[in-house]
Structure 1
Amino acid sequence: MDPMLIGVIAVILAAMVFDYTNGFHDAANAIATSVSTRALSPRQALALAAVGNFVGAHLGAKVAQTVGSGLVTLPQERIGLAVVLAGVLGAITWNLITWWFGLPSSSSHALFGGLVGATLVAGYEVLWGGILEKVVIPMIASPLVGLVLGFGAMIAILWIFKNGNPRRLNRGFKVAQSVSAAAMAVGHGMQDAAKTMGIVVLALYIGGFQDNTQHIPEWVFISSAAVLAAGTYAGGWRIIKTLGRKVIDLGPPEGFAAETVASGVLYTNALVFGAPISTTHTITSAIMGVGTTKGLAAVRWGVAGNIVVAWILTFPAAAAVAAGVYYVVRPLF
């Protein structure tokens, strides 16, 4: 068999493993609030998230193109495939570490960090302008936007429904949460399935199986979406518990507000800017913003601080792991 083809297949398989870990690692992004408020049962919520991820993948082409061509420059040679494989394996390793400890870190930034770390040790070009514009700025801005909008959305709900019957309102917001959770799941698919698609397309380009990184074959859409959906349905209960119960005590109105804000931020970045932002950062910051309407003491800042530390460590940690992995996989290419 053609050695280049073997390399491409290896990268695609690794990308699908990453996609699966992304699904169970980030399942909490779409469903933690709905499960914790009992708007949906765990399995109902996971099924909804899996379907939403599948649908959302077909709307994430701009994000996939950014990942495939806007972050690093690699040669159309076997060594280029070694770099991509090392980057993906580094991201998988960090995903598993943070999943084990129940920390909702960003699979997106693990992937970007892994790709950058492997590219640097291999001596190829990192497009720092693209990293700044498409990764660093959104990494800082999206949590801040989620925090502010989460606070504002919850204040608006409290004001609009200030004279409502609490029991009736809770029932109504449980129904509304089914819609907001579905919207969040679609947004997650737009972002996270798209990142896997970008890696697959990059591998196909480096291997010489397509002429550019802008075209995304339909089988790439379908396989990335299906694997992400399968991983999501497998669940990530450690992280679901952290997001849904340990940061703040969520009720249906708070869950609806957080999910609505987070999905809006995801849609805007995916459809308008093509920026691959972190669904984890966005929903977590929205939950924190919603929680502050109950007073600063309502947010468990110790747990929130651990999450922020994981955010900060993710990019460099995944980069360091991928750099080490590169020296292991390089002789195979």
Structure 2
Amino acid sequence: MELALVLLVVVIALTFDYTNGFHDAANAIATSVSTRALTPRVAVVLAAVMNFVGALLGTGVAETIGSGIIDTPLGNYGLVVVLSALVGAIAWNLLTWWLGLPSSSSHALIGGLTGAGVASAATVHWNVIWERVVLPMFASPLVGFVLAYFLVVAVLWVVRNAAPGRTTRRFRLLQTISAAAMALGHGLQDAQKTMGVIVLALVAGGLQTGSEIPLWVKLAAAAAISLGTYAGGWRIMKTLGRRVIELDPARGFVAESVAASVLYTTAFVLHAPISTTHTITAAITGVGATRRLSAVRWGVARRIVTAWVLTIPGAALVAAGMYLVLSLFI
């Protein structure tokens, strides 16, 4: 039964990774599509390829998820903890995707792990959650907003006397690079979280010790998130690309570049599992605010922030309830 549970958890984890891909595809390509720098088909293929590459570039975030959030019990109870966490995260992803809200798959997973950990009386590392989840949850959007605001002001000042048509074409070309960089950062951050969860299951099932990420786990997670990205995510893309602010190529390029920079810094330096959704949305809002504050549709932004706030507790409640139900059968 234990081996069957491990296999089930691995399959569910890769399913989560797939939903993460189509849920968060908009993070990398919404701005490029909305400014017509890339066609939707080209943008989705580019994002899928770069997601795959990014997933293979590091393991710091995976190790934080795999050993830093909770200590799972060994055996069937530990596997049910991980399974319940994944169900909570997937349920939240599907709900917010259906509503067209760009919430955080990362925080849904962390909320699921926390909720299942509390319900099972497992050790929850609240200090790690505070330092590597809660603080970055507030800091990364703030940094993205401020950097995007001032960088786009500087960029627009530099090109103020340039011919508008030629400048627009150049920024559309640059957006191909910034969209690729954003997709690479998304793979670097989000696919690693699934790797960490699979390692949790392998340890709980007695098939592995330590937090090292096996090669097959890296490849499977990279493939799942890439396939999910290729599947699209058009509801959320519309929200990010057009409902928050109407973007031009210059602002789209700056938003993607700033967000990608924040993702790389937190992944390689801090090993913190931050939200790509929070970061790019804040950057889009920051570049939009340079026009005038009223240019940003704050009502839409407010709905997005509400989803952010509810993500961790919402996923945690679902995961806790799922654990209490499943634990009756083991």
State the distance in 1 between where 2:58 and 2:179 align. Answer: 18
State the distance in 2 between where 1:328 and 1:232 align. Answer: 32
State the distance in 2 between where 1:289 and 1:223 align. Answer: 35
Aligned to 1:293, the other structure's residue is in SS state: coil
Match of 1:296 in 2: 293
Pair 1:208 & 2:206 matched: yes
C-alpha distance 13-332 of structure 1, shift in aligned 2 (>3 A): farther
Match of 1:319 in 2: 316
TM-superposed deviation, 1:328: 2.5
Q: Is the 8 A contact 1:115 1:322 kept in 2?
A: yes
Task: Trace 1:1-333 onto structure 2 (pairs within 5 A).
Answer: 3-213=1-211, 215-333=212-330
State the distance in 1 between where 2:59 and 2:8 align. Answer: 23
Amino acid at match of 1:40: L
Q: Is the 8 A contact 2:2 2:205 kept in 1?
A: yes
> Deviations for 1:137-192, whole angstroms, at most 9, x for unmatched residues?
11010000000011011011111111111111110000000000000000000000
Amino acid at match of 1:201: V
Q: Is the 8 A contact 1:59 1:271 kept in 2?
A: no
State the distance in 1 between where 2:196 and 2:188 align. Answer: 12
Amino acid at match of 1:11: V
Q: Is the 8 A contact 1:119 1:125 kept in 2?
A: yes
State the distance in 2 between where 1:131 and 1:266 align. Answer: 18
State the distance in 2 between where 1:223 and 1:30 align. Answer: 21
Aligned to 2:213, the other structure's residue is in SS state: coil
Aligned to 2:289, the other structure's residue is in SS state: helix
**Which range moves more in the overlay, 116-125 or 171-180?**
116-125
Moved over 6 A (4+): none
Q: Is the 8 A contact 2:97 2:236 kept in 1?
A: yes
Q: Is the 8 A contact 1:110 1:318 kept in 2?
A: yes
State the distance in 1 between where 2:239 and 2:108 align. Answer: 19
**Which TM-score applies when normalising by structure 1?**
0.98
**Percent identity, aligned pairs only?**
61
Q: Is the 8 A contact 2:72 2:200 kept in 1?
A: no
**Which TM-score applies when normalising by structure 2?**
0.99
TM-superposed deviation, 1:329: 2.1
TM-superposed deviation, 1:60: 3.2
State the distance in 2 between where 1:289 and 1:200 align. Answer: 36
State the distance in 2 between where 1:332 and 1:308 align. Answer: 38
Q: Is the 8 A contact 2:26 2:240 kept in 1?
A: yes
> Deviations for 1:69-116, whole angstroms, at most 9, x for unmatched residues?
011111222101101100000000000000000000000000000110
Amino acid at match of 2:66: G
TM-superposed deviation, 1:332: 4.0
Amino acid at match of 2:321: G
TM-superposed deviation, 1:124: 1.3
Aligned to 2:290, the other structure's residue is in SS state: helix
State the distance in 2 between where 1:39 and 1:124 align. Answer: 48
Q: Is the 8 A contact 1:195 1:276 kept in 2?
A: yes
